[in-house]
Chains A and B, each alone.
Chain A
């Protein structure tokens, strides 16, 4: 009661604040309008105004549209149209300031000219103009003290992917994105600068970055959709799906302490800021319509080489012969004569060999005037799957942005609304892809002559039956934010940001009796699983910003606060006993409805934050950031904590001495930062000793520890940025060391306690260090031909630095001090026994047993290095961009892929096909090979299982280079389209994952060892027209 009362008072206060702000602003605005009126009236006795018409071109004579033309010391300005032409009324004494991003600003006195021709020179060091979003403030790229990487719309918009996160692969140093499955809409795993927390599980992951979309934090946890077993349960649904990639203006990745400490307890794993497109400045001049459409085809990027029927049957027969079995067992249908031994089916082709289509369309309309601008967008994306049947993903988004500025430019307001509806239609099976790999190549036909599922007299589980287990996931997402700012006096402004987000994801999974063999259908019932996840969150962030210049000292200060409340609800229902298949899912037709799970969580968060940016003569920079955070996830006395960071930068190329000594060095900056961030990514309510409702009664929620507190990540970074030859070579090298301590873990307990774990802080230190290099070169810079390459590479190293008493802890066998967190302890492989032909591993301590004490080979499973090479080539209107992603990662065996059982096993219902490299198996005493003899006996299973867990099973290299994206576009010269009223036409072809170089023999080297659907390769083509 007390709590809600205080909340109400607080909301009331915020409302009052808002109202007073508005009133104050209205007042001030009203006054200044009068002022403007006085100023705008024609000055008497001054020179007479006249109309000036001008054209702005680049050094090649090409007109530049959208150039800002402003009369100096006034608010009067305009933009050039698509032909680079502007018209403005000015007096002869006026000076026009002509500016455009990427070009040097020009100043021209009007004089008596009525026609002007302006040539803008490209600004070679355009660093000065590019700004990056640091969340609560923006900084110029040139001046930033922290590590912030920016990915722009240009790199993202053509990619035919559902999730914006997926589009980041290979583009950012220090960002590891792994797309584990090619099924559209599924969440990739994503890590910024390595694993900081032991908690790495699905649903309790302490390594997720903070996602912020237009200022509103989005829960980074993948959405779980329930159901018995489904494709989405492997990875979960990506919470950012409902943001169209083509509606993103930029994505900023905040990495070091300087950039992330202002996010305090949520910044430990880095921050991903997504900014959607807004009404552009040029829109204020002309209402424009932008339409684009692309469409294409997708197939799986890779298939495995498996045994064909002849080889498979040989393997099976040899296995029985090797084990001394003459009569094939009754359930060995593949070779005992039950199944046709002359059949051959390429199951991979049947299961996921289809060509899927992709279609994407977008339309945006923008316009306005000098004071108010809007942008309205509509987006559609559709993807089929490569699976058989009518499955796929489609999505519709709408977005609206309105910006308004008062006449005196003191009050600014903007609203951004994004709404997305998506539908993902799948079927429930987490093993569909691995089934295709294992199924005997001579297994029966999937369908009989009537087109019904073929059950071959109950001798197999028809693997296509699961296609009838349809799951439909419908997600609606609203993301809205509003911002009002008012300049109180020169330099001081007050700002209020607020936002609301809501995601509602419903899933219906049906289990009709038709998925069962007709022989047992009578004993089954039509069932359905229903689940719904609703997440909503509001945030209010008032801020006060102050900018001041005192001689050579420049200050940029922000103070503010945050109040945030998030709710999440999860409901899971199972229904049974539908009389007919077509009723399934309609609860009123069910015999029985069971509520399996109702979960409800609330999270409250409050903070105060501040940033003081200071520089001396734009040469020496100091950036101080701090945040005091409170989170409801911690118990009384543990809720609040302070975080902060210091960032320093020195642009040494501005020093006279260096300028003289190294003339070809046009830019040089040394920067560093140190600070703390926290991690509160733990489940809610964990500290309460409570019980929850369950089956009409109550059950304990688990063991409780009211004393746990934040994980703290101390980040240190040093970096050097250099630009040579007018920035034709630009290089940024960073080194970082992040140490995460006070580890919050589900500390495993002996199950004798009744539970497997308890949440507690562990005095362990995890360290992530690494080097990141980003190199951008302008290889060719000619008027008609441009070639730019940007290269990024990251060398991460993860290490468990400290773990007191690890030997006595439950982590003793999973981790080892001095090694990475992602290790495997393996048996030492000793080869194939020349006599028995079976695998052998070393019994290191000679006790006759194989257990953890013999697992002495430690293998680090983290990537050695990774990165990307992006090339942009432009010849006149023709542009070619391509990105190569490369990953060097530790070994995994080609031989053991997907084979839980030794080659030779043919399990009834699931089959036993294997990778074709086993053909080189041991056959006779003395054979020197990597593959043990075929066997089908359980007696040989344990030895094989040991070998699967040995150094041998992890020795082939799954590193890869992949042509991640390639696009070719052609922009029709404006002279051809001038007449039609169009301002531009671009046609393009885009390819994704077209080519992969790897020695890996499995499905997809980006997720080695997995047997989920590999990433799709696709080719799309389309056009974009602007009116």
Chain B
């Protein structure tokens, strides 16, 4: 046939086109094998895991739905002015199962856990064999720390929760809730591993957890579990690192990036200020939250924390207080990033050890620790005013000190009220009932995973 020479190429172009439809990945993507076989990309993956804590991870970002904010509302720290329907629910103690903030707290904690698990699994693959041991230890140590960190907030906010140690979605999407004991066992084991794997120093900025960070978090875990001895010992190990850390005399410097009080901070991403600063600092009438005037009034005369950590916005006869630990609330001028969001700081180690010591009847030791904090605040030392207070009185003073020192930081107040049972009295006017100890499992999660059940007191 004379037309064969036209038809033949036609056929061979269009029938043998199997690989025409195989496209290369775009320049901004790389396959898993290539990520875990190269040092730089492993580092890049690890870096983003921490960026995400500031950016995508709602619970840790300092945004108006972060742990800091909602537990501040739920406890007696913040007054709600927000009209976003979720905020009043926290403030009034009637969080519903479809509260979107609860849903986002839950999902972002688990997406953090996914990244940690993915790192650990990837480094365990044969193609990661070439990654130096030192980098592997650091990455696995950090991943374990982060996994424990997220599980810690999950178990404290939701009670029994799915314990996730794999990236296998087949398993995870139908995971059952594990008891708090089992979750805590994993948290403790992860943090113990992290303590051995992580270095004592920081490879630069204090934005990556080191051994002291793992110890301080584990010390807090034992405090919450009432294991006073272990809590005290771990706190002691942190406190002993006096060359690295100090209780900074000037309160205005505490939340500065890489301050010597910092044990671990989260660097804001895509912003040159912290979201805590943006959310809290009032430049007009409050549209989200203001500090509870009742909290403001509990500070003693001359307490520097009252002066330096609390701001006020006045409009006519009305005054609105706000937490002023972070001083910068927007990019008014480009000054570089001067503040980071502080998660763990040195002062907490003293407060934990004070409580552990008091519980173990070492009252003098407890007073010494507590006075480290009081001294900086420039309020009378307990060793001078009431050196022979009772154990109960001392524990009450420690709680009060925690309230004033750690206010609007990472839900300390809320978790203290809950773990000690004081919430029943303190939050009585927020319709306190048994259900308020925990948030509801998000409705959407219950719909998707039939193996989940709801917390007591909430819609099933």
Contact = CB atoms under 8 A, between A and B. Distances in A.
Interface in A479-496: 488, 494
A330 B320 CA distance: 12
Interface string A597-628: 01111111111100000000000000000000
Contacts of B167: 753-754
B175 A6 contact: no
A550 interface: no
A630 B48 contact: no
A488 B20 contact: no
Nearest to A748: B448
Contact of A17 (B9, B103, B445): B9
Interface string A677-719: 0000000110011111111111111010000000000000000
Nearest to B168: A753
Contacts of A544: 7, 10
Nearest to B161: A752
A233 to B, nearest CB: 19
Given A692-B29, A698-B35, A754 B334 contact: no
A692 B41 CA distance: 10
A753 B173 contact: yes
Contacts of B9: 13, 16-17
Contacts of A690: 25, 29-32
B46 to A, nearest CB: 8
A640 B20 CA distance: 12
A601 to B, nearest CB: 6
A118 B6 CA distance: 47
Contacts of B51: 694-695, 697
A329 to B, nearest CB: 11
A17 B118 CA distance: 50
Contacts of A542: 10, 13-14
Interface residues of B, number: 87
A93 interface: no
A938 interface: yes
B134 interface: no
Interface stretch (B62-70, B230-238, B324-332, B384-392): B324-332
A257 B14 CA distance: 23
A445 interface: no
Interface stretch (B246-254, B280-288, B353-361): B280-288
B243 to A, nearest CB: 31
A967 to B, nearest CB: 47
Contacts of A684: 23
A10 B7 CA distance: 15
Contact of A693 (B28, B103, B459, B460): B28
A752 B173 contact: yes
A576 interface: yes
B21 A697 contact: no
A697 B44 contact: yes
Interface string B7-46: 1011011110111111111111111100100000101111
Interface in B94-110: 96-97, 103, 106-107, 110
B450 interface: yes
Given A701-B29, A813-B447, A755 B175 contact: no
Contacts of A369: none
A754 B20 contact: no
A592 B272 contact: yes
B20 A752 contact: no
A3 B19 contact: yes
A758 B169 contact: yes
Interface stretch (A95-103, A109-117, A189-197, A514-522): A514-522
Nearest to B97: A851
Contact of B5 (A20, A592, A748): A20
Contacts of B83: 907-908, 910
A520 B282 CA distance: 10
B449 to A, nearest CB: 4
Contacts of B164: 752
Contacts of A154: none
Nearest to A2: B19
Contact of B110 (A596, A688, A748, A754): A754
Contacts of B41: 691, 698
B92 interface: yes
Contact of B45 (A608, A630, A632, A698): A698
Interface residues of A, number: 97
A941 interface: yes
Contacts of A596: 270
A68 to B, nearest CB: 32
B263 to A, nearest CB: 23
A691 B169 contact: no
Contact of B14 (A574, A606, A756): A606
B22 A604 contact: yes
A812 to B, nearest CB: 6
A981 to B, nearest CB: 49
Interface in B421-460: 443-445, 447-450, 452, 459-460
A35 interface: no
B113 interface: yes
Interface string A529-559: 0000000000000101000000000000000
A606 B113 contact: no
Contacts of A3: 19, 22-24
Contact of A756 (B107, B118, B459): B107
Interface string A280-300: 000000000000000000000
Max count, chain B CB within 10 A of own CB: residue among A331, A631, A752, A758: A752
Contacts of B179: none
A443 B7 CA distance: 76
A75 interface: no
Contacts of B162: 750, 752
B115 interface: yes
A808 interface: yes
A488 B3 contact: yes
Contacts of A577: 331, 333-334
Contacts of B22: 3, 604, 632, 636, 639
B293 interface: no
A753 B32 contact: no
Interface string A722-735: 00000000000000
Interface string A154-194: 00000000000000000000000000000000000000000
B178 to A, nearest CB: 11
A536 B457 CA distance: 56
Contacts of A603: 23
Contact of B173 (A14, A458, A689, A749): A749
Contacts of B318: 330
B13 A754 contact: no
B113 to A, nearest CB: 7
A26 to B, nearest CB: 15
A520 B284 contact: yes
A852 interface: yes
B290 to A, nearest CB: 12
Nearest to B452: A750
22 contacts: A17-B6, A523-B332, A524-B330, A576-B334, A594-B270, A596-B270, A599-B26, A600-B26, A602-B26, A605-B21, A608-B14, A690-B32, A692-B30, A698-B30, A699-B52, A700-B118, A751-B110, A753-B110, A753-B114, A753-B173, A754-B115, A850-B459
Given A519-B284, A685-B26, A753-B169, 14 more contacts: A494-B6, A517-B284, A522-B332, A524-B331, A592-B331, A599-B28, A685-B25, A688-B25, A688-B31, A691-B29, A698-B45, A698-B48, A754-B114, A850-B459
Interface of B: 3, 5-7, 9-10, 12-15, 17-32, 35, 41, 43-48, 51-52, 55, 81, 83, 85, 88, 92, 96-97, 103, 106-107, 110-111, 113-115, 117-118, 162, 164, 167, 169, 172-175, 269-270, 272, 283-285, 287, 315, 318, 329-334, 443-445, 447-450, 452, 459-460
Pairs A-B, 7 closest by C-beta atoms: A754-B114, A561-B14, A751-B107, A697-B44, A697-B48, A600-B26, A810-B448
